[in-house]
Amino acid sequence: MGDEWKDLYKKPKEQPSHHEGPVLFYNDLVIDHFTNPRNVGELKNPDGQVVLGDPSCGDQTTLTVKVENNRIVDIKFKSNGCTGAIATSSMVTELAKGKTVEEALKLTDDDVVIALGGMPEEKKLCSLMGVAGLQGALEDYLSNVSAQTD
Phi, psi of 67 (to 5 degrees): -125, 130
pTM, two decimal places:
0.79
How many whole angstroms separate alpha carbon 150 and alpha carbon 129?
31
Phi, psi of 49 (to 5 degrees): -155, 155
pLDDT tens figures, 43-95: 999 999 999 886 666 678 899 999 999 999 999 999 888 888 899 999 999 99
Domain ranges of the chain: 25-149
Closest CA to 38 of 86, 101, 100, 72: 86
How many whole angstroms separate alpha carbon 88 and alpha carbon 106?
16
pLDDT of residue 8: 45
The three-point CA angle 116-62-31 to 5° equals 25
pLDDT of residue 5: 45
Task: For residue 12, name the pLDDT band (cuts at 50, 70, 90).
Answer: very low
Q: What end-to-end distance do the CA atoms of the chain give, in Å?
A: 79
Give me the CATH topology for the region 25-149.
Sufe protein. Chain: A (3.90.1010)
Does residue 124 have a pLDDT over 50? yes
Catalytic positions are: 57, 126
Do 48 and 64 touch, CB atoms closer than 8 A?
yes
